[in-house]
Amino acid sequence: MTTEAFFMMSEEVEQAVQERKGVVALETAVLTHGLPFPDNLETMAKMERAVRRQGSVPAVVGLHQGQIIVGIEPNNWEALLNNPEKCSLRDLGIAMARGRNGGTTVAATAYLAHRAGIRVFATGGIGGVHRGWTETLDVSADLYALANVPMIVVSSGAKSILDLPKTMEVLESLGVPVVGYRTAVLPGFYVRETGLSVSSSITRPGDIIAIDCAMRSIGMRQALLLVQPGPLSVDEELVEALIGEALAAARAQSIVGKQTTPFLLEFLNQHAGDSLKAANIALLENNASLAAQVAAAFHV
């Protein structure tokens, strides 16, 4: 097997990168392990349309039968749902060699998108330091990946299933700036404001470019996180209560390692009803739209 057999870019994405058009990478762990069927497929379609509406090209990244694809076409998304592996960085090589289908996490997607020459990536929430980290030492590979991938990552912060103050501390230790889009505080995914301060804020999407260029001009390889709250608000007390129940259920069922995040997300999706799911989908779409505006602003 040749190297090329493992890595494929769609014609549209390859051409857009070469012609320096705006390109936005989209992850697929949210498709395979983040949202229930068929909301997952519909949400990917909404994100893709949001990117195109802003004049940029979407690049859905994932693993199909062992091949990394940057720019998976909508009619091939469903194929990824056939017994998919959740692929963070350590899982990629193994899943590729075994011919698996896989959804790529923030860590894996950012890494692969960078290799494809893409500079902007949109997601819902990044992984981070898990609650109870002193016992489990569970810190998402996303954080370490973000320390090494020069990419603008647009998200609504990190989910409040995590320990957000500790997540911010680790991002600081790793040299990853967190910039608020029209906000001075970190959003916590469903939660619009966490009370934690961001490093700086901007008011126009293109304002992030100067920060990115400054970092790259001195050879910095850290990602640049751009965060904005989701457009829909939810009952925060209900969310916090559910997270408590989800964490207790995870402990009771001895859920550890890479299963933890999907387990907690599925618990919330099952028990929270439609308002939480609607908020989740709306923020994914909103982040795709902002990322597309940033990507388009790179080349004007």
When asked if residue 102 is in the footprint of ligand PSU (CB under 6 A), the reply is no
- The residue assigned the tokens 């069922």 is 253
Q: How many residues bind ligand PSU (CB under 6 A)?
A: 18
When asked if residue 202 is in the footprint of ligand PSU (CB under 6 A), the reply is no
Q: Which of 228, 261, 289, 293 binds ligand PSU (CB under 6 A)?
A: 261
Q: Which of 16, 24, 25, 29 binds ligand PSU (CB under 6 A)?
A: 29
Looking at beta carbons only, is 191 or 295 nearer to ligand PSU?
191
Residue of 159, 258, 277, 285 marked active site: 159
Looking at beta carbons only, is 9 or 129 nearer to ligand PSU?
129
When asked if residue 258 is in the footprint of ligand PSU (CB under 6 A), the reply is yes
When asked if residue 163 is in the footprint of Mn ion (CB under 5 A), the reply is no
When asked if residue 124 is in the footprint of ligand PSU (CB under 6 A), the reply is yes
When asked if residue 138 is in the footprint of Mn ion (CB under 5 A), the reply is yes
CA dihedral (288, 289, 290, 293) positive or negative = positive
Looking at beta carbons only, is 181 or 190 nearer to ligand PSU?
190
Q: Find which of ligand PSU, Mn ion, none residue 180 binds, CB within 5 to 8 Å per kind.
A: none
Q: Which of 141, 149, 272, 296 binds ligand PSU (CB under 6 A)?
A: 141
Residues 173-192 close enough to bind ligand PSU by CB under 6 A: 189
Is 266 annotated in the active site?
no
Spatial separation of the C-alpha atoms in residues 45 and 40, rounded to whole Å: 9
Binding site for Mn ion (CB under 5 A): 138
Binding site for ligand PSU (CB under 6 A): 27, 29-30, 34, 88, 105-106, 124-125, 127, 140-142, 159, 189, 258, 261, 265
- As annotated, the active-site residues are 27, 159
